[in-house]
Amino acid sequence: MSRVETPTSQRGGVGQWALAWRRFKKNRAAIAGLIIVGFFAFLAAFDRLIAPYPPNCVPTPFSPFCTGQYAPLHAPSFAHPFGTDSNSYDVYSQVIYGCRAAFYIGFGATAVAMIVSVLIGLAAGYFGGTTDNLLMRLTEVFLVLPFFLILLLFLKVLYYFSNTGAGGLEIEILIIGLFSWPGNARILRSEVLRVRGLEFIGASRQIGASASRILFRHILPNVLHVLIVLTTLQIAASVLIEAGVSFLGFGDQSVATWGLEFYYGFNYISDAWWVEAFPGIFLTLLVMGFNLLGNGLRDALDPRLRE
């Protein structure tokens, strides 16, 4: 043995995140999730370069690649790998544009939900007492409201003002976000309660740290692992909700989304399976990718699941 391996303790400074990444790398399902999400992120970023036709567009003989096959409900062919839908839209192009819409709604709604749930969860868990009581009762009120109906109602009203439902995506982001925080806030609150009882929080009070410093510098980083996992799962859930809304025909018809393709193809499902199948495969894959990623992150970050 000519070479002596330096033990980890001698190199110094292996933080929790580095350790979590090591555990994450060993988890094949998690890596698969990361690759799937990465692939969709790539499609979403370069959709205009990848898709042969513009969004929501009936191909004309002047379009590039056009072979004259722009009939509605055309089966998959060389010109239209995923076929065409009842509007003669190229399903392949629509599905590629749907990636961007999915990321837009997923990240947008999740950002709103997570900001609210972090503020409420931290405040309720840390201050306790009456603050906690009030915030948790508010959370319960939001949990019992039939939020899907409220969302459909808002979108229906929107159709009176614009006949394509343009702006619906933003309304969906806001409403999904404003109604998805309660579960997350509860989980965060319970994590904050656990961390608040740990001695190093007491120790930071003893060294003269202020309440805001303790909250944001000591408690938040220690519940971050939970927040990250909840965020990935919330993204997947938001994408699914959007698909449901669009499938029911309440969605924003000015933007190509997977749910909208379901809506267009539903009446012709026995003749044209491709209009439903391809967006369905993409939606399933992306949601599965985010779930695998979320589970992998949870396994890598949860201190209780460590070997």
Partner 1 sequence: MSEKLLSVEGLRTYFYTYAGVVKAVDGVTLDVRKGETLGLVGESGSGKSVTAQSIIRVVPTPGKTVEGTIEFEGRNLLKLTESEMQHIRGKEIAYIPQDPTTTLDPVYSVGDQLTEVITRHQPVSKQFARSKAVELLRSVGIADPEIRVNQYPHELSGGTKQRIAIARALSCEPTLILADEPTTALDVTIQAQILELLKELKQKFNVAMVLITHDMGIVADTCDRVTVLYAGQVCETGTTEQVFENPKHPYTEALLSSVPSLALRKDKLSVIPGTVPNLIHPPSGCRFHPRCSYARQICVDKDPELESIGDGRLVHCHRWRELELTSAVAS
Q: Which positions lie near partner 1, rule CB under 8 A?
A: 8-10, 12-16, 128-129, 198-200, 202-210, 217-218, 221-222, 224
Using the minimum distance from each CB to partner 1, give the nearer residue, 87 or 204: 204
| Angle ∠(86,90,96) on CA atoms, nearest 5 | 125
Using the minimum distance from each CB to partner 1, give the nearer residue, 222 or 253: 222
Closest distance of CB 301 from partner 1, Å: 11
Q: Tell me how far apart the alpha carbons of residues 171 and 166 are, in angstroms, rounded to a whole number.
A: 10
Using the minimum distance from each CB to partner 1, give the nearer residue, 127 or 148: 127
Closest distance of CB 183 from partner 1, Å: 25
Tell me the one-letter amino acid at 56.
Answer: N
Using the minimum distance from each CB to partner 1, give the nearer residue, 46 or 200: 200
Nearest to 169 by CA among 94, 233, 254: 254
Closest distance of CB 181 from partner 1, Å: 24
Q: Tell me how far apart the alpha carbons of residues 219 and 212 are, in angstroms, rounded to a whole number.
A: 10
Closest distance of CB 194 from partner 1, Å: 12
Using the minimum distance from each CB to partner 1, give the nearer residue, 9 or 270: 9
Closest distance of CB 3 from partner 1, Å: 20
Nearest to 70 by CA among 95, 90, 94: 90
Compute the radius of gyration of the chain from its Cα atoms: 24
Q: Tell me how far apart the alpha carbons of residues 263 and 238 are, in angstroms, rounded to a whole number.
A: 18
